Structure 1
């Protein structure tokens, strides 16, 4: 039981460290995003995710670009929509 707790804490630390790295490989990106490696390769194959492939061999991913990519097409919360509507109505007066 105690070993499981230690392993969980180490996994959290490892994920935190990946978050600090600027450049990730496929395995690190999988740990960072929770996507399977096969899904990452599919995203690369269909050019849906930003990546680099220097020398045409190994895949690398810039963490900042991945973060932006992950957050694209975000949905606004109800409170954000209401605040925008209120601002819009006030600006029309």
Structure 2
């Protein structure tokens, strides 16, 4: 499995593979989400993303929560929209025929 490299002010350091960790630090969450630290601070401040603060200072994230956040607000493809419209029309037609 590939390991990510995190650029740190004191040099470069390897970060353990996030696939093996359930709980991630702030820096590990940045790598997983591929966003800036200011963006992650903004998301936590506005409570748009779940986080944990066990000692009142450092924050941690559940990997599953971060992935669910990344996959939220799905935008359906044109094919998915067509299929949904077709199914709705089919159900409407069946309901109107049943009511006769």
Normalised TM-score (structure 1): 0.77
Gaps of 5+ in 1: 1-11
The corresponding residue for 2:41 is 41
User: Is the Cα–Cα contact under 8 Å of residues 30 and 36 in structure 1 kept in the other structure?
Assistant: yes
Q: Secondary structure at the match of 1:61?
A: strand
Q: CA RMSD in A?
A: 1.8
Task: Output the CA distance in 2 between the equivalents of 1:79 and 1:47.
Answer: 34
Task: Identify which of structures 1 and 2 has the higher relative contact order when contacts are C-alpha pairs closer than 8 Å and 6+ apart.
Answer: 1
Q: Which moved more, 1:79-88 or 1:34-43?
A: 34-43
Tell me which structure has the larger Cα radius of gyration: 2
Count of residue correspondences: 82
Structure 2 residue runs without a partner (length 5+)? 5-15, 95-100
Give the Cα separation in 2 of the matches to 1:39 and 1:81: 31
Per residue, is there more helix in 1 or in 2? 1
